[in-house]
């Protein structure tokens, strides 16, 4: 087949809505041959497919992220003047989550202000998931809509499915209390479902400018900072290299572990803002995140920090 045959096949398929079988009869070739011709049309830019997304993304920056970090996908939304970053990422994150959810998925969710915005914006379409699973205990002092329990509840209402809640505090006073609590049949059921989740939706906590006051004392916060903590995923604190810091603190936090998180097929992290630059870089270095949703301003600074650290090393 010559160049003009490829153009004709593409014209018939994309413009005239002929099926591949119908085009094959016109050319006297198999459907498989037509499929290869259409692929050739795309590869040689005879056909350019444009998808009009509801949000504007920086595709060049997305490619740079994919080339730099071990991610399956990334969505970098262009910032909108006067729009709060968390609200922006809530809208964009809802759109991106819909792209990755499939029939019969078990969706695990964390808690954050951004995820609360996302939960309010999500409008499920084209699939039916099985269950929503809370991935972290509740933080009593956290504003209700941002709590993992409340976000799980919002998702169950939106998706009209069963929710599996983790009815325990996120932080305990003593490590030995953890083993006692996890013997509870309901809590045990939830932790077993953590291992069966096919998708996890998480935030990334920052510690640069503000203290995670909902479950840390000032002394604990300062200790984490001394040990190099730059952020947390579901209460698990890590440094810039993605290494867990302060195992003692982790022993009193009730949430899915980063190792368990890594076993989930699609881990989607949604985070952005000035105080999340180091946090996002550290989180990406944990290897637990598959898909990142962030904003353009934040992404530029994360890459800049990555390059600075690389050149100084």
Full DSSP string of 192-207 = HHHTT-SEEEE--EE-
CA–CA separation, 223 and 150 (whole Å): 30
Q: Per-residue pLDDT tens for 146-166? A: 788 999 999 999 999 999 999
Domain residue spans of the chain: 3-44, 59-311
Q: Assign domain 59-311 one CATH number from 3.40.50.720, 3.65.10.10, 3.20.20.20, 3.40.50.1360.
A: 3.40.50.1360
Query: What number of other Cβ atoms are within 10 A of residue 20's Cβ?
Result: 17
Judge whether 209 and 197 are in contact, CB under 8 Å.
no
- What's residue 217's pLDDT? 79
Assign domain 3-44 to its CATH superfamily. Homeodomain-like (1.10.10.60)
- What's residue 145's pLDDT? 67
- H/E stretch holding 149 reads helix 148-159
- What's residue 284's pLDDT? 98
- What's residue 200's pLDDT? 98
- Long-range contacts of residues 121-128, Cβ cutoff 8 Å, at least 24 apart: 121/90, 121/91, 121/93, 121/94, 122/94, 122/97, 122/98, 122/155, 122/158, 123/94, 123/98, 123/158, 124/98, 124/158, 124/159, 125/98, 127/101, 127/102, 127/103, 128/103, 128/104, 128/161
**pTM of the complete model:** 0.84
């Amino acid at each position: 087949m010559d160049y003009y045959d490829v153009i004709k096949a593409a014209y018939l398929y994309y413009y005239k809505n002929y099926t591949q079988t119908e085009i094959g009869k016109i050319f006297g070739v198999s459907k498989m041959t037509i499929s290869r011709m259409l692929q050739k049309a795309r590869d040689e830019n005879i056909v350019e497919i444009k998808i009009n997304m509801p949000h504007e993304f920086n595709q060049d920056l997305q490619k740079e992220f994919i080339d730099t970090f071990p991610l399956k996908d990334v969505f970098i939304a262009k910032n909108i003047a006067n729009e709060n970053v968390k609200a922006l990422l809530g809208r964009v994150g809802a759109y991106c989550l819909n792209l990755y959810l499939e029939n019969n998925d078990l969706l695990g969710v964390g808690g954050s202000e951004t995820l609360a915005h996302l939960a309010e914006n999500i409008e499920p379409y084209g699939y039916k998931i099985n269950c929503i699973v809370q991935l972290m205990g509740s933080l009593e002092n956290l504003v209700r809509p941002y709590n993992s329990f409340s976000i799980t509840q919002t998702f169950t209402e939106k998706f009209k499915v069963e929710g599996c809640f983790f009815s325990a505090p996120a932080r305990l006073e003593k490590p030995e209390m953890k083993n006692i609590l996890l013997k509870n049949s309901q809590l045990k059921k939830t932790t077993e479902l953590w291992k069966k989740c096919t998708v996890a939706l998480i935030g990334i906590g920052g510690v640069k400018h503000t203290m995670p006051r909902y479950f840390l004392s000032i002394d604990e916060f300062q200790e984490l900072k001394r040990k190099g903590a730059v952020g947390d995923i579901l209460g698990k604190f890590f440094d810039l290299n993605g290494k867990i810091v302060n195992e003692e603190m982790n022993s009193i936090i009730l949430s899915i572990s980063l190792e368990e998180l890594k076993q989930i097929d699609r881990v989607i992290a949604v985070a952005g803002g000035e105080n999340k630059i180091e946090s996002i870089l550290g989180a990406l270095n944990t290897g637990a995140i598959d898909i990142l949703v962030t904003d353009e301003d934040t992404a530029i600074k994360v890459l800049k920090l990555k390059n600075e650290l690389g050149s100084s090393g």
